[in-house]
Structure 1
């Protein structure tokens, strides 16, 4: 699904990483690991078109997405990508239901197509019946689980997750990893930047960004 070819990124005179080359297939969950400051999140942001590499290519189904224009970028994010941000990227003064509702694809809503419903997604992440609560009333861990439920509703082909268990206790972290694993098993490609051994151990492969090494 995603082919990364000789990717490089600099900050000023410092080379963050160079010649990064790897592939993530459909139905595969890959952990990106490395020490703090090695550029794990930056690599995710390049794949998600939130940052631009200085060299190389990122190909999605054969197309170099780093060359996408504004419209192609918007469609890629809307139709293909799901992102689990460290800061959750939720609308804080809106309800849980509103935050999940924006993830329902217009085409699916118009056609009445089946998918994971808002109530089902919230039940899966342990927040059943809390649709009308405002986001700013929730704890950090609860907000992370709302963001995960939003991914389940959206049903993206590619998920990028940045330290998805960082704010969670052991029980909730295990649940989040399990849901990401289920999404991967259903055919979604999942790429996770993490320093959590529990996450790494559940992945199909581990990519050490500082060593440019992929280990199955």
Structure 2
């Protein structure tokens, strides 16, 4: 699904990583691991087209997405990607329902196709009946669960998660990983930048970014 081929990234005179190559398949959950500063988040951002690598390719279904123009990048993010950031990336002065509604794929809304409903997603993350609450009234753990529900509603083909359990207690962290696992089992590719051994242990494989090696 995603082929990373000889990818390199440097900041000034410092090479963050070079000749990184790995493959992420449909239905696979991959942990990007390494010490702080090793470039896990930067690699994730390159896959999500938020940063550009200095060399190499990132191929999705055979196309090098690093060469996409603005329209292709926008369509790729809208139609393929789902993000789970530490900052949650929610609209704080909007309601829970409004934040989830924007994730519904336009083509699904036009065709009235059925998928995971907003109510179903909120029920799954333990926030049933709270559609009308404003985001800024929710705790950090609850906001993370809204972000998870948004992924469930969007049904992306590829999820990128940056330290998704870093600021969460054990119960909320377990919920996050359980749902990411469900998305993966349903065929989604999930890539997680993490330093949490519990997260790594739930993944199918781990990739050591600074060593450019696939771990068992």
TM-score by length of 1: 0.99
Q: Which residue of 2 aligns with 1:195?
A: 195
Computed over aligned residues only, the root mean square deviation of the Cα atoms, in angstroms, reads 0.6
- Is structure 2 residue 3 aligned with structure 1 residue 3? yes
1:56 aligns with 2:56: yes
* Equivalent residue number for residue 68 of structure 2: 68
What residue number does 1:77 align with? 77
Aligned to 1:154: 154
Aligned residues: 216
- C-alpha deviations, 1:102-143, integer Å up to 9, x for none? 000111112111110001101111111110111111111111
- Residues of 2 paired with 1:107 and 1:139: CA distance? 33
Q: Give the corresponding residue for 1:138.
A: 138
Partners in 1 of 2:157 and 2:36 — Cα distance? 28
Shift of 1:70: 0.2
2: CA distance, partners of 1:71 / 1:92: 27
Gaps of 5+ in 2: none
Q: CA deviation at 1:86?
A: 1.3
Correspondences of 1:199-210 after superposition (within 5 Å): 199-210=199-210
Corresponding residue for residue 37 of structure 1: 37
2:12 is aligned to 12
CA distance in 1, matches of 2:64, 2:90: 29
SS for the counterpart of 1:123 is helix
How far is the alpha carbon of 1:172 from its aligned partner? 1.3
